[in-house]
Structure 1
Amino acid sequence: MKKSLALVVAGLMAVLATTASAGNKEGTFSLSPVIGGYTYDGVQHLDTAPVVGARLGYNFTKAFGVEGLFDYAHTESTQSENKFDMYRYGGELLYHFFPDNTLVPYVAAGYAGLNFNDYKPKGAFDYGAGVKYFLTDNFALRGDVRHILFKSGGSDSKTLNNVEYTIGAYIPFGGTAPVVKAVEAPAAPAPAPEPPKAAEPPPAAPVPVTPTSTLTIAPASITKGQPATLSWTSRNATACDIQPGIGPVQAQGSMNITPADNTDYTLTCTGEGGSATSAAKIAVIAPVVVAPKPVAKLCSPTTLEIQFDTAKSDIKPKYHEELKKVGDFLNENPGAKGVIEGHTDNVGSLKMNMSLSQRRAESVRNYIIKNFKIAPERIGAKGYGPTKPVADNKSAAGKQKNRRIDANFTCDAK
């Protein structure tokens, strides 16, 4: 078991990550909720069980820190139905390797009290390793493994070995950000007295880092009067300013804007290494004014494009939209009255066509009265047969034009 832990520690120490703004910071407090597993020495005859716990820590430097710990696990005997509650509480000293990196391995050792079912607590020494992976300056994931040693007690006391392995979150607060120190040039050797040599040039001063900045607007296009979100970030800058109309701002942040017209915003950030400028545009679209829908005018004689099957007066569904224009007009003009006129071509006897045109006119009249709730006395029906043609009955096209329905209404009635 000790050999395995040594390999884990060696592996963690060998991991290097790209240096980033995250890392272990001096003077920070931390809170770490953890979960994992707890495996007991075989002679204890206890099942491996889940463990939950918490760590409260403080970093004296970037490398050295201390953590208080509390763990709890509930397990069962492998030889009986007895159940046990395990509590572990104490502290550890931690040493971090590569504390300025995103991935920070560390080793730990400590001492804690170990209690099973409120029996007399036992002192337990532990050691092990862990690693923190910083996702941001203020949040990291962590993984740990510990070898826990303690005496069983009694006349035949022996050393017991337990193993705990956990994962969790590392949440630092307070402290200062890591500072990358410039490497000083080595001192020039003293010149020999003979012969005299030219003096060595002084070491170069650290080169200031050039600031960076980003500026975004979401959405990039809005309707006039609607808000958008302006967001910005900067690094290595001591002052930032947004124009037009906003002025000095923090190094990063966001705010709602409601420009009246198309606007080009500019973020300018300055620092020891110079300045950086970012730009973002927003388009402002005028609201669309919907023109009122014109009211249909049906006061002049209107021909309805309605056709019937031979010798039939039933209205086909495809003409319902055409008849809706008449119904809507009558509802919008309560004083309007009129007549539905039916017409035919000259095929067949006059008597037959007169009767057919009357039935068709009444079919249209009844449809409008029923479906649009129009008072019956406002609409009449008259069949004219072939007596009022609008085209020559000698051609098929002319006959089709003569087979029609006309709607004649007065609009000046109140």
Structure 2
Amino acid sequence: MKLSKVIVFVGLMILALSAGGNVMAENRLGAFTVSPLIGGYVFEGDQDLKDRPSYGMGIGYNFDKNWGLEGVFNYVDTESEKDGGDVDAFLYRLDALYHFNADQRLVPYLAAGIGGITLDPDRESNDTDFLMNYGGGLKYFINDFTILRGDVRHIMSFDETHHNLAYSAGLTFLFGGEKEKVVDRNIDSDGDSVYDHLDKCPGTPQGVRVNPRGCPLDTDRDGIYDHLDKCPGTPQGVRVNPRGCPLDTDGDGVYDYLDKCPRTPKGATVDTRGCWVIKGVLFDTAKWDIKSGAHKVLDNIVTVLKENPLLKLEIQGHTDNRGSKSYNERLSENRANAVMGYLIDKGVERDRLSAKGFWFSRPAVSNDTQEGRAMNRRVELMPIR
């Protein structure tokens, strides 16, 4: 076939591609297609083969509403113009298809691909050539699953530069896939000012502030939305509970990330640092005698220890800063031992207790005043697990 004829056919296809319908089509992305086809195949003159009908089958896949991939097999029962011998022609190709106006019922498309042809004459050996093709066609959607189609291709041989023409018509059946979601109006079901098709967190409660994705704000980034967060402003990286509050593992009222004395036993009184405080167990200057007013406090410690049978304590004695280090070291040890002896006498096991003196190395308050020195003549308890 002469090149001028090819140009005429391509021109006709371009005119056809300009057509379009105005009714919504049902082209589905992700659908598989099966297309029985019938048509004709026109051989170039110097191939000495007669033009004959072709019969074929195409199997394809729609990547989206525009792009598709299709494999096609055709059979042409032709004959040689030289000797009249029968020649079986087998054509196979893989094509990429691009659909225009894919949301209409009448859909034009362009196609291009590669493949091959095998000629099997009765009186000679087989001959195979590689091919490339381009062209286009029209698809008309009869319903959601059935398409009427027509197709024209210019086919070129790599080996001998033959220019052939193939045309076909048939039906395409769609299996699976889904229609592209069409938003015919902007809907905001939860009233958060982010339209439903953009909203990543649908169902946000009324009045809750959201980010551009439609999700409630989480200002402190603790994983709990602000409207549910009972402890806003949690520092970055601090673990929180489902209410958005920092963890308090030992339940002493001081959050773990602030607790300088973790694992405080249940029922113990703690200071702002989370450390067990023994208020009222103070000593006179240079003395380690336990005052009667301290018995109630120490008895409460006995109760705590009995409620926590696995708990062990280090009893730490302290002094003010008057006197030498060696003197105050012995004095602080005596104070710690005095408290330990009291607890043992009340039934606490000896192996759960230890005593240590810290002299005036760890003042609780300044030693510059008489009141401050009185507060530093004390004992503290450190849980040991």
TM-score by length of 2: 0.45
| Structure showing the higher strand proportion among its residues | 1
TM-score, length-normalised on structure 1? 0.42
